[in-house]
Structure formats: C-alpha cells, structure tokens
Structure 1
C-alpha cells in the first residue's frame, strides 16, 4: 500500500475530452445533488490535465446506475485504454469508478475520495480489496498521505500505474511464496491489512 502521495511525479498526462466532463449532470434520477454532478468536483478532479500533450490517448467517460435493485448507486466510470507500466510488455487498461452510494466499504472516507480502481482482474497481489480493486493507500493515514479528489485524475492514474508495477515486481520475485520459499518484494510503502483492527490502533 502506498502512503505518500507526493513521492511519485507526473509520468504522463491523461486527456479527458472536455465535452464529456459534464456527463454525470445529464442524469434525471437525482432528487438531491450527487458529488459527481458538481462542477466544482469535476474541475478539481480534472485539474492539471494537459490538453496539449503529445500523448493523445483519452479517458472514456460514462454514467451507470443504479447497480442494485431499488438502489440509488449511480456510478461515474472513467476508463483509460492502457497505461504504460514499467516491465509490462503491453499497456494495462485501468478503470476508475466514482460511486454515489458505494456498496463497498469506504472506511469512513467520503465516496469522492475513495473510488474503485480496477485493473488486471484476478491477478495475485498482496494489496487488493476483497472486490479485486487496487488498494492504493491506507484509509487510516492522515489526509496528506492519501489521495484526495483535488489531487486530480493524473495523480490517481499514476498511483495506479506504480501500484501495477509493484505488483508485477512482487510476483516476479516470488509472489506469495510457499514452503521453503521467500515471498516477493514489494517496492512501495505498506500497511497491514485488516482495516478495522488497524484503524483502531491509529485512532
């Protein structure tokens, strides 16, 4: 798990077509404001995007929901077609989901600051959630050590890229290990899993 959002620098810009940024606002379901429909949220999330970058791959944006019978869980889905990950021969698609009413645990954090980050489904990893989402930071860390939506999409996609590299290196150096074998090496910062117990320790 990563606990220092400032240690990784921008590796590439992620371009989001301007005409798609407002897509969540076109829903007619909401009787009350949803954070993803806020222009303030969208502006903060897309802050720092480089529209003049030579890197022209774009993030696809879509709206989905509800995801459960009788539910109100609308989801803003942002999909990158393929991040270049060190030591990986092919780009890795990465999807970010911002849920209005998450059915997964956000560990007390606001949904806009605890999206699902999905990539490499089913791969062995020491740092994934039960729903197979990448576990990029420890929810009990101070705010300055966690990703926040005001850090923007570029920072979040770069966190995912580095996490995928750490996973690849961990698997290549032993993974979960076995009898008489040493487990793989994790290159990033780590915190123990078992959030509720760990959160009690830091509270």
Structure 2
C-alpha cells in the first residue's frame, strides 16, 4: 500500500455522509428562507465549510447569514453610529421561530455572538444533528464585504464570507477537488490535537494560496504542509478576500513545527513506495496521522475487497496475486464466471497444435518458466497434449495443487483442475474450473494470445472467489448462470 493509497483511504474515512450534508443544507435553506421574510432583509447567503465543500464527518453545523438593509438602520455599524443589532437580532428570532417550528417542532434558537444559533434536536440515524449559525450582518458603505457584529465584546469586524466561498470553490473541477481533499485531510490532522494550532479557516486560506494544480492527494498534501510551514515562518496568513486582518494563530511556533513535521513525513512515505509496513510506520507516527491511519489490511483482505468491488488486479512475475496494477505485473481481465460446455476458441493449424511448435510455446509461456514460484513446465508435450502443474499459496486460502491441461481435441481451451474442496457453483461437469463465459468479448475472458502468465492470474482469482463463496454463500464478482444461451448472457 503506497502513501497515496493510505491517504485516499484516510480521506474516505473522514468524508462526510452525503445524507448528513444534504440534511444540513436543507436546514440551512429553511433558516435562510425564514430569515429572508424579515422586513429589513436585503439578502441571505451561505458560507463556511458546507458552502465551500470542506466539511468532514461528523457534520456538526451549517453557516449562513442575513444581510440587513442599512438604509432602514442608519445608526447600525461603524459606518453609522456604531450601534449593535441586538434588538434586530431579537426581531429575527421572533420572526423565524414560528416559521420553522411547524417543520421542526423541537427547534431551539439561542443568541450567539454573531447572531443566532439554531438547534433542531432531531438527530439523524448517524447520530448527527447539524445546527445552523445565522449571522446578522451589514454591507460596508465604502469597502467590499460585510460588517459582522460581535455581541459579546461590542465591536464590529469586517469580513467577506461570500467572497471566501467564491474563491474557495473557484477553478476547474479537478483543481477544486484537489483543494477540497487537501483541506479536509489537513483539518482532520489538526483536529487530532487537543489544542489545534490553527483554525480551519487558516487551513483553507493556505490551501487556496498554494494548491494551483490538480495532482494526486499525496503530492498535494506534501505541497500544502511544506508551504504552510514556510509561509507561517515568515508571516501570518492574509485574508483571501483582502478585507479582514491577517488570520490569527493560537500558537504560531507550534503550527510551523507541526506543518513541517507532516511535510517531512509525507516525503518519506512517498519515497517508501508500496512498502506497506514502512508507509504505515511513517503515517501512523505521533504528530502525523496517528489517530486516523489504520494498520494496513492483510494481503488476503485487500484481494478479497478488490474482487468484491471489481477493482483492477494483477499477478506478479513470481506468480503472486495482488490488488491493483503493479509495475512489471500482468493485469487480469475482469471475467464472468460460468459453467456449461467447453467451447473451442482456437483454430488448429495444419502443422499441428501450438504446443508442438517451439516458437509458439515459448511465446505462450514467456517468463513464467523462470519466475513463477511453484510452477512446473513440461520439457515436451505428451501424446494427448500438454500439462502444467502449479503449487500455489493464495492469501487467506489453503495451498492448492493446480493442473492445467491443453488437449489435442481443443488446444486453445485450458482445462484447469484443482485439488482440495470441490464445492463450487462455477465448475464444469468434469470438475474443471469455469472461469469466464466463453462467448464474452475478448476483454472479458482469457484467450490463448494472453499467455500462460495471465491464465495463472485468472486461476488465482477464481480460487479466491470459490474460497469466499464457501465461507459466505455468495459469489463475489460477475457471473453467468449455467446453461444460459449466449444472447441471454449478453
């Protein structure tokens, strides 16, 4: 498992549930819809992580705001007499509660320093119960952005939440996705600490500054953490909208140290390639992703998951079945398991079957003669055909003795027999494996031109499928019912 694979698994692990995101968005929409009916409303807006698509699991809240028409309240804000909208916030509260309680009977609305906090008290099946933060704000008269009140400390702060969302969701789709993935993982990293050194908005702003390419997650994260450390050494992060003061950091020195440590670790993890143990050791170290990265799955679990999901698989030069496409390995075609009558798929030449011609046999066997462990290749064909034997140990399965026969009557169709348990829904009447539907197109079945190495891969995958079926009663992967006609199968 490479650093990229491990980090992608981490990203999926922290990803917010789509139903929870939809519910949070619906709740925010309901609150904004109610607030827009206020007689002094100018407009409403969505902001924060949900609008920028930076939300992780669990989905805790959704942010939005109500912009008041300052012409009706000239004394409010720094552009007026500096008055705070306490009475206005109370009037918004009085307006939206009766409008929302019909849909959300357990709703509770509280004042917060920026406006109103709406609690719904209706947990989802996941246990999440997203709240809504509704800011009550004013347009600035001579500058872009909004005046956001602080009802606890009495000042007004300039900000531009609408512009932040516009910037954070800008760019072509692949770039936006890279930025979103980086921010989510970086936020999850910061949340591991009891006292995060930077806030989520700071992480988003740094990602907006440095993520300018669509690239794999491991490279993008390394770029982000390296940039974040170097940037914070020099200065605080600027507001992306150019409206607020630089973003405050709880502990700048600690933030630089944490960012730098992760950047160095990601460098080492990327260099470790597909060394599972080393990648895990690096990423699971304290200070990196120690609360987020799980131990690497066993080879058997990885292969079983790949088969069940229909993910790419390959067989290495030495005959080891692996999930994914590995350099130097032979990819395995995704087939539909079948059973019925053998179908010839090879035309015999007038000069005899392929295994009687040295050049054809050498081409068919390739490097398997030298590399595949446990494979016995006959020196010469016997009178009725050619027979290969393979002693193979598959991840999570018992060791098996495999016999592969190519007969004179059908030299292009292998008959594969295996010792051990014979119970299987996909074997021919003679007990040989039925690994693909013979009338499928070439990209979905093995053919003579694919060679011996690819055939070994198909055998290995089929044996794992049989093993899973014996344990679960369900066949993992595509299949065609026995005896089905070609047209019905296609």
Which residue of the partner structure matches residue 178 of structure 1? Answer: none
Which residue of the partner structure matches residue 476 of structure 2? Answer: 187
Taking a change above 3 Å as real, the CA distance of residues 166 and 202 of structure 1, as seen in their structure-2 partners, is closer
Which residue of the partner structure matches residue 409 of structure 2? Answer: 101
Displacement of 1:185 in angstroms is 1.6
- Secondary structure in 1 matching 2:313: coil
Displacement of 1:45 in angstroms is 1.2
Q: 2:436 aligns with which of 137, 141, 144?
A: 137
Displacement of 1:94 in angstroms is 0.7
Taking a change above 3 Å as real, the CA distance of residues 75 and 200 of structure 1, as seen in their structure-2 partners, is same
Q: How does 1:8-157 map to 2 (within 5 A)?
A: 8-13=313-318, 32-49=351-368, 51=370, 53=371, 56-61=373-378, 63-65=381-383, 74-80=384-390, 82-88=391-397, 90-102=398-410, 111-112=411-412, 114-120=413-419, 123-157=422-456
* Unpaired stretches in structure 2, ≥5 consecutive residues: 1-306, 320-349
Which residue of the partner structure matches residue 71 of structure 1? Answer: none
The CA deviation string for residues 82-123 of structure 1, in whole angstroms up to 9 with x for no partner, is: 1111212x4211111011114xxxxxxxx31x1101113661
Output the TM-score relative to the length of structure 2: 0.28
Q: Is the 8 A contact 1:83 1:91 kept in 2?
A: yes
Once residues 35 and 49 of structure 1 are traced to their aligned partners in structure 2, the CA distance between those partners, rounded to angstroms, is 17
Once residues 458 and 422 of structure 2 are traced to their aligned partners in structure 1, the CA distance between those partners, rounded to angstroms, is 17
Number of equivalences: 150
Q: How does 1:168-187 map to 2 (within 5 A)?
A: 168-173=467-472, 184-187=473-476
* Unpaired stretches in structure 1, ≥5 consecutive residues: 15-30, 66-73, 103-110, 174-183
Q: Is the 8 A contact 1:192 1:198 kept in 2?
A: no
| Aligned-residue CA RMSD (Å) | 2.7
Q: Is the 8 A contact 2:369 2:375 kept in 1?
A: no
Q: 2:486 aligns with which of 196, 199, 202?
A: 199
Larger RCO (CA within 8 A; separation ≥ 6): 1
Once residues 78 and 125 of structure 1 are traced to their aligned partners in structure 2, the CA distance between those partners, rounded to angstroms, is 22
- Of structures 1 and 2, the larger Rg is shown by 2
Q: Is the 8 A contact 1:44 1:151 kept in 2?
A: no
Taking a change above 3 Å as real, the CA distance of residues 56 and 131 of structure 1, as seen in their structure-2 partners, is closer
Displacement of 1:198 in angstroms is 1.7
The CA deviation string for residues 117-140 of structure 1, in whole angstroms up to 9 with x for no partner, is: 111366100100111000111011
Once residues 428 and 407 of structure 2 are traced to their aligned partners in structure 1, the CA distance between those partners, rounded to angstroms, is 16
Which residue of the partner structure matches residue 106 of structure 1? Answer: none
Once residues 154 and 141 of structure 1 are traced to their aligned partners in structure 2, the CA distance between those partners, rounded to angstroms, is 20
Q: Is the 8 A contact 1:41 1:149 kept in 2?
A: no
Taking a change above 3 Å as real, the CA distance of residues 8 and 92 of structure 1, as seen in their structure-2 partners, is same
Once residues 43 and 134 of structure 1 are traced to their aligned partners in structure 2, the CA distance between those partners, rounded to angstroms, is 25
Once residues 149 and 119 of structure 1 are traced to their aligned partners in structure 2, the CA distance between those partners, rounded to angstroms, is 20
Output the TM-score relative to the length of structure 1: 0.64
- Secondary structure in 2 matching 1:64: coil
